[in-house]
Amino acid sequence: MSDNDNWNKAIIDEFRANSGKVGGFFAGKTLLLLHSVGAKSGQERVNPVAYVKDDDRIIIIASKGGAPTNPDWYYNILAHPLVTVEVGTEQFQARASVTSEPERSRLYSKMVEMMPGFAEYRQKTTRLIPVIALTPVK
């Protein structure tokens, strides 16, 4: 298991043990668990992801800490946009859609307001970081 996998597993375990609350880097921030289906493997993947609300939608950012490539979960949601989301103790299905301008920039700025580190991620990469809206499926 990679260091990143171990880090994610520790956050997921803490999230579930504390009704969606975690400490450390994410202390006091909104965090969800994104369940997606692997684009290549077809297996379920779970990733902790920071989010902000935008009306009834949940907004997540495929920043990967400003890395030059998108996170694997981004390709999973492109291939399989129906995802499961855990927020606190609630779990529900949502449809993921990649936003376009000018909405993408507005929503990215909203995330920066909550977690200023996202401004750094934008500076660290030349790629346009995708912003994804998760709309609950009724």
49-82 pLDDT tens trace: 999 999 999 999 999 999 999 999 999 999 999 9
- Return the pLDDT at 121: 95
- Span 88-136, pLDDT tens digits: 999 999 999 999 999 999 999 999 998 999 999 999 999 999 999 999 9
DSSP codes of every residue in the chain: --HHHHHHHHHHHHHHHTTT---GGGTTS-EEEEEEE-TTT--EEEEEEE-EEETTEEEEE--GGG-SS--HHHHHHHH--EEEEEETTEEEEEEEEE--TTHHHHHHHHHHHH-THHHHHHHH-SS---EEEEEE--
State the architecture of 3-136 in CATH terms: Roll (2.30)
Determine if the pTM surpasses 0.75: yes
pLDDT at 13: 92
